[in-house]
Structure 1
């Protein structure tokens, strides 16, 4: 799968939305996409975004951005 600069942790788009990490979970709203943990550098809100939306995202809390994807935590493993 190709790697795009906008999906690299630390990438900040023009609206101040920062990629924190890939969750590794598939998108529930866009087939073939992975959900990324996003962070608003203005208000600190964390939310999920599809990889293809990162460059355009606005904060859902204060910039009238779309709600975003649910953030899920990976299940604990018995093996470390």
Structure 2
């Protein structure tokens, strides 16, 4: 049986959270992220509309890879 993972809903990982760079959290993908113990979330740039994945631990500081020079 596959283990069920519970994801914490802290402020930055809450759906709808917008960080200081105007990147909106659209929710968790329930896909293991690239950082230890993290999951990927979908962020949407409020400037240009680009959507991209981010580790939960990076949401607070992410910049858009399209218009702000953030990591892809």
CA shift for structure 1 position 4: 1.2
TM-score by length of 2: 0.86
Structure 1 ranges of 4+ moved more than 6 A? none
CA shift for structure 1 position 15: 0.4
> Match for residue 19 of structure 2?
13
Structure 1, unaligned runs of 5 or more: 68-80
* Cα RMSD for the two superposed structures: 1.0
Structure 2, unaligned runs of 5 or more: 1-6
TM-score by length of 1: 0.78
Select the structure of larger CA radius of gyration: 1
